[in-house]
Amino acid sequence: MNLIECRNLALGYNGRAVLKGLNFNVEEGDFICIVGENGSGKTTLIRGLLGLIKPLKGKITYCNLKKNTIGYMPQETHVDAHFPASVFEIVLSGTLAQKHFKPFYTAVDKKNALQKLSLLNIANLKKESFADLSGGQRQKVLLARSLCATSKMIVLDEPSNNLDAHSKAELYQLIIRLNREFKIAVIMVTHDLDHDNLISDKILSLRGKDFFFGSTKEYVRMLHE
Amino acid sequence: MNDLIEMFSYSFMSRAAIVGAMLVICMALIGVPLVFRRNSMIGDGLSHVGFGAFAIASVLGLAPLQFAIPVVVLTSFFILRLTENSKIHGDAAIALLSVSALAIGVLVVSLTGTNTDINNYLFGSILSIGDTDIIMAVILSAMVFLLYLFSYHQIFSITFDETFTKSIGVNTKLYHFVFAMLCSIAVVLGMRLMGALLVSGLIVFPVLSARQITKTYQTTIIVSILVSIMAFFIGLVASYSLNTPTGATIIIVNMVFCLILKTISLF
């Protein structure tokens, strides 16, 4: 069953298209990696899927998914690493959707945030300051926050940037578990296309004029031809 | 102790204590997001706009607070629009509007020769605050406090990561406007206490002091409030005893607090 359908999609800024003629679907439980060089439009596509920019042309249809119920995890460098906030304060903010002018989090919000921390094995960090965490731990906190906002789909923007090999492998394992065990669709922007890191089922390549959207096996075969 | 009781038995001192305490709480509240968004100078910019508005109000014989607050609120909305929709960056927009308003204020004052009230707004004069201003200050401070409380989590989330906050459907524009309004009201009220030239000190110092010893957002806000209240009362008493300007004395006490907490944080 489709979650998102993109048809003849053009996205860009100030009327100038960065991406044109893009067609693809995101199905329930999909794991899609978006690849492409710098400036190829990966971030623009993510912004479009999250509803942060409107299509210049074409259409994004959200099926079985409300527009603002996609969990988003930015690159680690996009948030202030020295921001004075506890892990729990940050993860709780993932439950803010549609909470207009309510001064307090409910018991359900707190339970939800705690569950996500436990799911990612970081419940012990609940009271720690975000600024005191390692890069890998910070990424898990941002992943837990994104999970608070969704039960169906997460969008990850280069989640392994600046991580050492061990932290990267640990994070990828968690993402794979979320996808396989909990059937959460994953869209992940990545530069990691080494053989070991081809963890997705499908690839959306924004390289060149002709986009590629298909299985990872097909993509690897195409690269070797 | 008897000296303190005697000091606060004067109505101008007790009024200053009540209004000042409410004002410094508001300033500390808005200070935390402003400092962490690296927008600390917005307080300085808005206070210059407030100065221009006060100058015009005093020349036209209008109630200063009632005139200045809407003007500064509208200016802060305008700064937001400028930074969203054009090639003018936030700091440039603030500089542009603040020096323009300051120039208008100075021009109006020099053309009309009115300068008594203007000095009060440049350097602060909480000891001479009138009954109407007290009522306005108490009502507006309560409003700032309540609005902040009801948008606390959204302001936190936008300050930490605006893109994520937008992506989950929070109306970030609405909260930007709410926060701009809170800043404008707090800054205009703060000018009565500190004056246009020193008001940004009340935004920055308590937060920087708190940041030396805190690790979470909530405790940063609580410690900022405690530091600003303590610094205010010590500064008020010191300025009375030493016969020094109230606003400047409060800022000096804040500076000392910041240095002490910085030293403590090193150990």
Query: In the sheet where A16-27 sits, what is the strand order?
Result: A16-27, A2-13, A57-62
Mean pLDDT on B219-243: 94
Q: Which of B20, B8, B6, B33 lies closest to B183 in space, CA to CA?
A: B33
pLDDT of B85 above 80: no
Q: Where are the domains of chain B?
A: 2-266
Q: Which of B41, B229, B239 is nearest to B141 (CA)?
A: B229
Question: Would you list which residues of chain B are within 8 Å, Cβ to Cβ, of chain A?
Answer: 36, 149-154, 156-157, 159-161, 163-171, 211, 214-218, 220
Give the pLDDT confidence score for residue B139 in this predicted structure: 92
Shortest Cα–Cα distance, B34 to chain A (Å): 13
Task: Provide the pLDDT for residue B115.
Answer: 61
Neighbour-count burial for B8-38, b at 16+ CB within 10 Å, e otherwise: eeeeebebbbebbbbbbbbbbbbbbbbbbbe
Q: Interface of chain A against chain B, CB under 8 Å?
A: 50-52, 67-70, 72, 74, 78-80, 83-86, 89-90, 92-94, 96-103, 105, 128-129, 131-132, 145-146, 149
Range B72-99 average pLDDT: 77
Quick one: CA torsion of B253, B255, B258, B264, rounded to 10 degrees?
-80
Q: What is the pLDDT of residue A102?
A: 72
- How deeply is B6 buried, as exposed, middle or buried, from its count of CB atoms within 10 A (0-12, 13-18, 19+)? exposed
The per-residue pLDDT for A188 is 93
**What ipTM goes with this model?**
0.91
Residue with tokens 């701009």: B180
- The verdict on a CB contact (< 8 Å) between A89 and B156 is yes
Instruction: Please provide the average confidence, as pLDDT, over all residues in chain B.
Output: 87
pLDDT tens readout for residues A4-46: 999 999 999 988 888 888 999 999 999 999 988 888 889 999 9
pLDDT digits (tens, 9 = 90+) for B121-143: 777 777 777 787 788 888 999 99
CB B115 within 8 A of CB B52: no
Is B253's pLDDT higher than 70?
Answer: yes
- From the list A85, A93, A98, the residue facing B216 with the nearest CB is A85
**Measured between beta carbons, which residues in chain A are less than 8 angstroms from residue B165?**
93, 96
Q: Which residue of B has its CA nearest to A105?
A: B153
Partners of residue B218 in chain A, C-beta under 8 Å? 86, 89
What mean pLDDT is reported for chain A?
A: 88
**Helix spans in chain A (H):** 42-49, 87-92, 107-119, 135-148, 165-182, 216-224
Cα separation, A176 vs A155, whole angstroms: 13
Q: Say how far apart CA B27 and CA B49 lie, in whole Å.
A: 17
DSSP A97: T
Could you tell me the pLDDT band of residue A94, with boundaries at 50, 70 and 90?
Answer: very high
Q: What is the pLDDT of residue B88?
A: 66
In this predicted model, which residue has the larger pLDDT, A225 or A201? Answer: A201
Helix (H, G, I), strand (E, B) or coil at B235: helix
pLDDT in tens, A50-89: 999 999 999 999 988 877 789 999 987 778 888 899 999 9
B37 chain-A contacts, CB cut-off 8 A: none
- B219 — pLDDT class (breaks 50, 70, 90): very high
Residues 6+ apart with CB under 8 A from B102: B48, B51, B52
pLDDT at B145: 93
Q: Residues of chain A with pLDDT > 70: what percent?
A: 95
- Domains in chain A, start-ordered, CATH in brackets? 1-70+153-163+182-225 (3.40.50.300), 79-149 (no CATH)
Name the 3-class secondary structure at A69.
coil
- pTM listed for this prediction: 0.89
A196: pLDDT strictly greater than 60: no
Which chain B residues contact residue A85 at CB under 8 A? 156, 160, 216-217
The average pLDDT across A91-112 equals: 84
More confident call, B119 vs B94: B94
Beta-bridge partner residues of A32: A187, A202
- Please give the single-letter amino acid code of residue A141: V
Q: What pLDDT does A47 receive?
A: 93
Among A199-208, B82-91, B121-130, B251-260, where is mean pLDDT lowest?
B82-91
Burial of residue A178, with CB atoms counted within 10 A of its CB: 0-12 exposed, 13-18 middle, 19 or more buried: buried
Distances (CA, A) of A135 to A144, A154, A204: 14, 20, 27
What integer is the mean pLDDT of A125-151? 92
Instruction: Summarize the confidence of residues B171-194 as an average pLDDT.
Output: 88
| DSSP string over A127-147 | TSBGGGS-HHHHHHHHHHHHH
CA-based radius of gyration for chain B: 18
Binned at pLDDT 50, 70 and 90, residue B117 comes out as low
How far, in Å, CA of B24 to CA of B227, rounded? 10
Q: Where are the alpha helices (DSSP H) in chain B?
A: 2-7, 11-36, 41-60, 64-85, 90-112, 116-123, 131-150, 152-160, 162-167, 172-194, 199-211, 217-242, 246-266
User: pLDDT per residue over B19-59, tens digit each?
Assistant: 899 999 999 999 999 998 887 888 888 888 988 888 888 88
- Average pLDDT (B52-67) is 84
* pLDDT of res. B157: 94
Mean pLDDT of A111-126: 94
Block residue for tokens 């919000």: A109
Mean pLDDT of A187-209: 78
Res B198: pLDDT: 84
pLDDT for A192: 67
* Confidence (pLDDT) at B194: 80
- Chain B residues with CB under 8 Å of A129 CB are 215-216
Residue B47, classed as helix, strand or coil, is helix
Q: Looking at domain B2-266, does it have CATH number 1.10.3470.10?
A: yes
* Overall average pLDDT of the A157-176 stretch: 87
A103 and B152 within 8 Å at the Cβ level: the answer is yes
Beta bridge partners of A135: none
Give the tokens for residue A16. Answer: 């100038």
Mean pLDDT of B241-267: 92
